[in-house]
Chain A
Amino acid sequence: MMRLMSIPVAWSTILAGLLLFAEPALAGSPVEDLSRANAAYEAGRYEEARESYRTLVDAGLHNETLYYNLGCAAARLGRYGEAILAFRRALRYAPGHEDARANLEWVRGRADEAGVEASGGRQLLERAAALMPLDLGLAGGALMLNVAALLAALALLRRFAPLRRALIPAAAIGALLGILLLAPALLQLWLRASERGAVVLDARLEARSGPGEAHPTLFSAHEGLEIRVIDERRGWVRVAVPSGPSGWLPCEGIGTVAPDRLSCAGERRGKGISTR
């Protein structure tokens, strides 16, 4: 009997440890830095605010509030490419962020860019994924599946044979709840992994037919143009523009919606929004 009871105890301990230490919440300092940057923004010192937001991003902090505020500061400074990228990143972490969506449209209007809207199916999936915060879904799903498995294991024991009629439905309900919690979280992870969007950050880039300066120029891409990454090779990225044509752009001139998506991402640091 003691051996049997030690299983759920160990099980619960592992899960509790996972939930407690899974979210690496940063110390209070970034919050204060963000408040100071907001104060600079409110005082109209947009360049100072933008620098402060970027410092937090460069420190590895990817958060919808941070990117939303960075987008506002960049937009006020007329850096529409950087603003579009920041708002899209904010929407990546919080697809239901109405302010980010409204400001993205505002900046697109200013930059005279139509923007790239996801397909109807993908938009539906994004809304479904946004129903549950990622970590809550992952943790809750894992917990419920483990509880369900534990109940099922108890039901198998002869000692709990009298409770079997209650244990089996309880295990089934737990498993169903676990799947319901886990599904949006897994969907969100898949959507993040399949994100290929990028934005042109330089004022003007020449798209070439191959990865290198020696290849002929096909078209010009301007700041704020939203593109889709297809391939990457030796510091050049093959992209497709919404109107159809594709070409190779220098990696340091664009920023991807998914941070760290490009292997050459670090080269951009200091030039605009970090692509980390």
Chain B
Amino acid sequence: MVSRARSTLWPWLIALALVGPALAAPEIEVSFSPEEPYENQSIRVTIRVSGDGALDARLDGSPPRGDGLLPAGRPSTSQQTYSVNGRTQSWLEYGITYVPQRAGLVSLPSFTFITAAGKVETEPISLEVREGSAPGARAPDREAPLPLEVVVRPSARSAYLGEKITLEYVLRDGGARPRGIEPDRLDPLPGFLIEDDELDVAATARETTDAQGRPWVEYTLFRRRLTPTRTGTIEIPPVEIRTSVPRRRRDAFGSAFGFERYVPVSLVARGLAIEVRPLPEDGRPPDFEGAVGSFTLRAKIPEDARVGEAFQLELEVSGEGSLDTLEPPELVLPPDLQAYEPVEGPRVARKRTWTYPLVARAPGEARIAAPSISYFDPGFGRYETASVGPFSVNVLPGRTRTVEAAREGPAPGGGARIEELGSDLRFVEAAPRRLVSRESHLGQRRVYWFAIGFPFLALPLFAFALRLASIRAASETGRVARTLRDARRTLDEASQTSSPEDAARCVVRALHTWCGLVIGEPSRPLERSRLRRALEERSGDAELASRVVDLLDRAEAARYGGADPGSLVDEAGQVITQGTGR
């Protein structure tokens, strides 16, 4: 059990021995320059973190604000790695510029750095800031004070919420002849909407003189238009500007021949605080939308228009202030005048333009109420309303000729010419009395196609049926005629034969032929009484039926020498003629 525990611990002990030295806390030291700064002189604070893992060190949070010291510009870092007696070491330098806010004792709290070994802190720094006139920025070689400074000039130290403030950073040159500046763009400022003007710095040069009569040249480096977005005191931090100035060489040749070299110079524009006041509640118009400044409203509208043809009302708002928050003014129009969505023109400095397309629907005078915008004028400290108008437009009849005009005669000049001034969508249609879906129609119903096809199918069938009936009727008539003809032919044979027996047989056969025709079945097998009933039923003539049966009996008897066959033949002919009507 013990040996097993040892084997488990060994790798951990080896790893600790290897990693242990790397986790040693790095050293940290802090220095600042100059050690006895003047009131308006920037102080460069340099913090060096050295030792293993120093390259990974980073400041915990942002640079701290001191008591009487404010950070200016962005921090810089540099690092180096070197080897001494086979052992590699490295350091990281962190530099930041501070600007004193007052004379006397000022202090900075600790800087905390996070390294792989944990957090390391500097000692708090205290230093004495000397009172008195600032000697100006000095070049690193400290030969002489430079006649060069950067000042910040706000248009106001206090403003209303939404009121624009202009902030100018001005480089004052009393003969130092600086070359190039850094940075070329300033950082955003929390609490403000910022518009930075694009400036040609050289073109902003302006000559001035100070109280001692010394000439200075002023260059506007940056011009920022700040719109406060919250109330209270908003601090604008100092800004560090880096440039370079020419210095004469200190060696004998340089001094003798006037050779110059450029050396970097750091200048600091002081920070300042802006007091932002809320807009007053008293007198705030209901249509106020947050515009602060001083504005004027102009309008352009034609005096005449025609029915159905578009014309334009152009509104222009100009002035100093927050134009961006403005919405296009709403128009109050008569019912016969229709306005479409306004189109905004290109934005130029301190000016916005909206164009309203209008279409008149009826002739006559159309009056448009004065459009207006409400804003807060910080100069007077009260709400104002800018308006223009009202306007009156003389609406003429449309160029399309009316029916009444057509009745009066031809239009002058032919009346067919029009001058097209523009085009627009034609207007929507009014709702019809019935709204029918066009995708559903009769053709989608099978029964419709049956109704279409029915006559084409039924008519030939009807004609065929009629023809068939006709044929059948003709066929029945022929059969009757043939039967009667056979019966009569048999009677003719009877009258021509010399044998009385044969004559009587022919009469019997002819009568049976006729009876079969009448009753629809062979009559020979039937008894006489049944034959009589059948004949009576079919012919409806009882006397005829009795006469036929009697005649048959007598003809049968004549076959064996009874009655005279000649009279039988005549009588049978009469019966057939009477029974068939032919």
A interface vs B, CB < 8 Å? 11, 14-15, 18, 22-26, 30-32, 34-35, 38, 41-42, 44, 56, 60-66, 68-69, 72-73, 75-76, 93, 99, 102-103, 106-107, 134-135, 138-139, 141-142, 145-146, 148-150, 152-153, 156-157, 182, 185, 189, 259-260
Residue of A nearest to B434 (CB): A25
Closest 7 CB pairs of A and B: A149-B455, A93-B438, A34-B431, A138-B442, A69-B428, A62-B439, A22-B442
Q: Cβ of B429 and Cβ of A69 under 8 Å apart? A: yes
Residues of A within 8 A of B19 (CB): none
Q: A44-B339, A157-B466 are in contact. List 9 more A-B contacts (CB 8 A).
A: A24-B440, A35-B431, A64-B438, A69-B429, A138-B441, A149-B455, A153-B459, A189-B441, A259-B439
Q: Cβ of A146 and Cβ of B454 under 8 Å apart? A: yes
Bound complex: CA A13 to CA B470 (Å)? 31
Residues of B within 8 A of A102 (CB): 426
Residue of A nearest to B467 (CB): A156
Residue of A nearest to B438 (CB): A93
Residues of B within 8 A of A72 (CB): 425-428
With beta carbons under 8 angstroms apart, the residue of B426, B437, B454 that contacts A99 is: B426
Residues of A within 8 A of B437 (CB): 24, 26, 60-63
Residue of B nearest to A35 (CB): B431
Annotate B318-353 by CB proximity to A: 1 below 8 A, 0 otherwise.
000000000000000000001111000000000000
With beta carbons under 8 angstroms apart, the residue of A11, A26, A107, A185 that contacts B436 is: A26
Give the distance to chain A from B49, nearest Cβ to Cβ, in Å.
53
Bound complex: CA A185 to CA B423 (Å)? 35
Query: Within 8 Å of chain A (Cβ to Cβ): is B262?
Result: no
Residues of B within 8 A of A62 (CB): 437-439
Give the distance to chain B from A276, nearest Cβ to Cβ, in Å.
9
Contacting A at CB under 8 A, from B442-495, are 442-443, 445, 447-448, 451-452, 454-456, 458-459, 462-463, 466
Bound complex: CA A170 to CA B424 (Å)? 53
Give the distance to chain B from A76, nearest Cβ to Cβ, in Å.
7
Q: Cβ of A22 and Cβ of B441 under 8 Å apart? A: yes
Q: List 8 A-B contacts (CB under 8 A).
A: A18-B442, A23-B440, A42-B338, A76-B425, A103-B426, A135-B441, A138-B442, A157-B466
Residues of B within 8 A of A22 (CB): 441-442, 445, 448
With beta carbons under 8 angstroms apart, the residue of A15, A41, A65, A142 that contacts B432 is: A65
Q: How many interface contacts (CB-CB < 8 Å) are there between A and B?
A: 134
Q: Cβ of A135 and Cβ of B423 under 8 Å apart? A: no
Residues of A within 8 A of B451 (CB): 14-15, 18, 142, 146
Most buried by A among B424, B434, B451: B451
Residues of A within 8 A of B455 (CB): 145-146, 148-150
Bound complex: CA A68 to CA B427 (Å)? 9
Q: Cβ of B443 and Cβ of A189 under 8 Å apart? A: yes
Contact A156:B462 (CB < 8 A) given known A69-B429, A99-B426, A139-B442: yes
Residues of B within 8 A of A35 (CB): 430-431
State the majority secondary structure of interface residues on A: helix
Residues of B within 8 A of A156 (CB): 462-463, 466
Query: Within 8 Å of chain A (Cβ to Cβ): is B435?
Result: yes
Bound complex: CA A138 to CA B442 (Å)? 7
Residues of A within 8 A of B458 (CB): 149, 153
Bound complex: CA A103 to CA B429 (Å)? 12
Query: Within 8 Å of chain A (Cβ to Cβ): is B87?
Result: no
Residues of A within 8 A of B438 (CB): 62-64, 93, 134
Q: Cβ of B435 and Cβ of A30 under 8 Å apart? A: yes
With beta carbons under 8 angstroms apart, the residue of B431, B443, B452 that contacts A31 is: B431
Residues of B within 8 A of A64 (CB): 438
Query: Within 8 Å of chain A (Cβ to Cβ): is B582?
Result: no
Give the distance to chain A from B429, nearest Cβ to Cβ, in Å.
5
Q: Cβ of B435 and Cβ of A66 under 8 Å apart? A: yes
Residues of A within 8 A of B439 (CB): 60, 62, 259-260
Contact A34:B435 (CB < 8 A) given known A146-B451, A148-B455: yes
Give the distance to chain A from B412, nearest Cβ to Cβ, in Å.
27
Residues of B within 8 A of A106 (CB): 423-426
Bound complex: CA A44 to CA B341 (Å)? 8
Q: Cβ of B429 and Cβ of A65 under 8 Å apart? A: yes
Q: Cβ of B448 and Cβ of A18 under 8 Å apart? A: yes
Bound complex: CA A25 to CA B434 (Å)? 7
Bound complex: CA A141 to CA B425 (Å)? 38
Residues of A within 8 A of B454 (CB): 11, 146, 149
Query: Within 8 Å of chain A (Cβ to Cβ): is B142?
Result: no
Q: Cβ of A31 and Cβ of B425 under 8 Å apart? A: no
Residues of B within 8 A of A145 (CB): 452, 455-456
Query: Within 8 Å of chain A (Cβ to Cβ): is B6?
Result: no
Residues of A within 8 A of B431 (CB): 31-32, 34-35, 38, 65
Residues of B within 8 A of A34 (CB): 431, 435
Residues of A within 8 A of B430 (CB): 35, 38
With beta carbons under 8 angstroms apart, the residue of B435, B448, B462 that contacts A142 is: B448
Bound complex: CA A99 to CA B431 (Å)? 15
Residues of B within 8 A of A138 (CB): 441-443, 448
Q: Cβ of B456 and Cβ of A149 under 8 Å apart? A: yes
Most buried by A among B339, B424, B426, B439: B439
Residue of B nearest to A65 (CB): B429
Bound complex: CA A184 to CA B275 (Å)? 81
Bound complex: CA A60 to CA B436 (Å)? 10
Bound complex: CA A69 to CA B425 (Å)? 11
Bound complex: CA A273 to CA B436 (Å)? 19
Q: Cβ of A18 and Cβ of B463 under 8 Å apart? A: no
Query: Within 8 Å of chain A (Cβ to Cβ): is B433?
Result: yes
Bound complex: CA A26 to CA B437 (Å)? 8
Q: Cβ of A152 and Cβ of B440 under 8 Å apart? A: no
Give the distance to chain B from A254, nearest Cβ to Cβ, in Å.
19
Residues of B within 8 A of A146 (CB): 451, 454-455
Residue of B nearest to A36 (CB): B431
Bound complex: CA A24 to CA B430 (Å)? 21
Residues of A within 8 A of B459 (CB): 149, 152-153
Residues of A within 8 A of B443 (CB): 134, 138, 185, 189
Contact A31:B448 (CB < 8 A) given known A18-B442, A22-B442, A24-B440: no
Bound complex: CA A34 to CA B431 (Å)? 6
Bound complex: CA A38 to CA B341 (Å)? 17
Bound complex: CA A25 to CA B441 (Å)? 11
Residue of A nearest to B444 (CB): A22
Q: Cβ of B441 and Cβ of A63 under 8 Å apart? A: no
Annotate B40-56 by CB proximity to A: 1 below 8 A, 0 otherwise.
00000000000000000
Q: Cβ of B452 and Cβ of A18 under 8 Å apart? A: no
Q: Cβ of A31 and Cβ of B432 under 8 Å apart? A: yes
Residues of B within 8 A of A44 (CB): 339-341
Residue of A nearest to B458 (CB): A149
Give the distance to chain B from A41, nearest Cβ to Cβ, in Å.
5
Give the distance to chain A from B299, nearest Cβ to Cβ, in Å.
20
Give the distance to chain A from B161, nearest Cβ to Cβ, in Å.
33
Q: Cβ of B442 and Cβ of A135 under 8 Å apart? A: yes
Bound complex: CA A44 to CA B339 (Å)? 8
Bound complex: CA A35 to CA B430 (Å)? 7
Annotate B409-433 by CB proximity to A: 1 below 8 A, 0 otherwise.
0000000000000011111111111
Residue of A nearest to B465 (CB): A156
Bound complex: CA A73 to CA B431 (Å)? 15
Bound complex: CA A44 to CA B340 (Å)? 7
Q: Cβ of A63 and Cβ of B442 under 8 Å apart? A: no
Bound complex: CA A153 to CA B424 (Å)? 59
Give the distance to chain A from B438, nearest Cβ to Cβ, in Å.
4
Give the distance to chain A from B342, nearest Cβ to Cβ, in Å.
11
Bound complex: CA A149 to CA B453 (Å)? 11
Give the distance to chain A from B452, nearest Cβ to Cβ, in Å.
5
